[in-house]
Structure 1
């Protein structure tokens, strides 16, 4: 089981319902067969996440220390959208860090499980 977050580069929606609409549009546009290189701000964000905890690659020994549910983490980024998962046993600390980093980076952070913006 994993816990997911969505982070995107763009204006902050006015409320949770608007944020869900934005996320659905971004997800439809930038996932599946429509993958694009991540924007510079999203790339920098991902680099800061993996500086905090190791990225996962095939055969990595860091699975026990990393909160990420897959890797390389940058593969979850497309254009202005970064939708990523954390292993459930480690998500609380990682989600707190990820949401605070998004805020200080000027990015929008959304919790798709609770369908709410994260401050």
Structure 2
């Protein structure tokens, strides 16, 4: 079981309902099909996450220390959207860090499970 977050580059939606609409639009345009290279800001954000916790590799040697549910993490980014999962047992610390990093990076962080913006 995993816990997912969405982070994107763009203006902050007015409220949770507007954020859900933006997320669904971005997901439909960028995460379905072939995808696109991540924007520079999204790439920098992902680099910040894996600087904190190791990315998962094919040999899974970091499985016990990394909160990410899959890897490499950058594969979950397309254009201005990054949609990624964390293992449930480690998601609280990782989500708190991820949301803070998004905020300081000028990105939007959205919880698709609870359908709400994360401040």
TM-score interval (norm. to shorter): over 0.9
Q: In the alignment, what sits opposite 1:113?
A: 113
Q: Deviations over 1:1-48 (max 9, x none)?
A: 000000000000000000000000000000121400000000000000
1:15 is aligned to 2:15: yes
Q: Deviations over 1:35-70 (max 9, x none)?
A: 000000000000000000000011131100000000
State the secondary structure of the residue aligned to 1:109: strand
Q: Distance in 2 between matches of 1:29 and 1:71?
A: 22
Query: Post-superposition, which runs of at least 4 consecutive aligned residues in structure 1 deviate over 6 A?
Result: none
Q: How many residues align?
A: 119
Gaps of 5+ in 2: none
Q: Deviations over 1:68-89 (max 9, x none)?
A: 0000000000000000000000
Q: Give me the TM-score of the superposition, normalised by structure 2.
A: 0.99
Q: In the alignment, what sits opposite 1:62?
A: 62
1:18-97 to 2 correspondence within 5 Å?
A: 18-97=18-97
Q: Give me the TM-score of the superposition, normalised by structure 1.
A: 0.99
Q: Distance in 1 between matches of 2:33 and 2:5?
A: 21
| Structural RMSD (CA) | 0.6
Q: Distance in 2 between matches of 1:42 and 1:61?
A: 25
Gaps of 5+ in 1: none
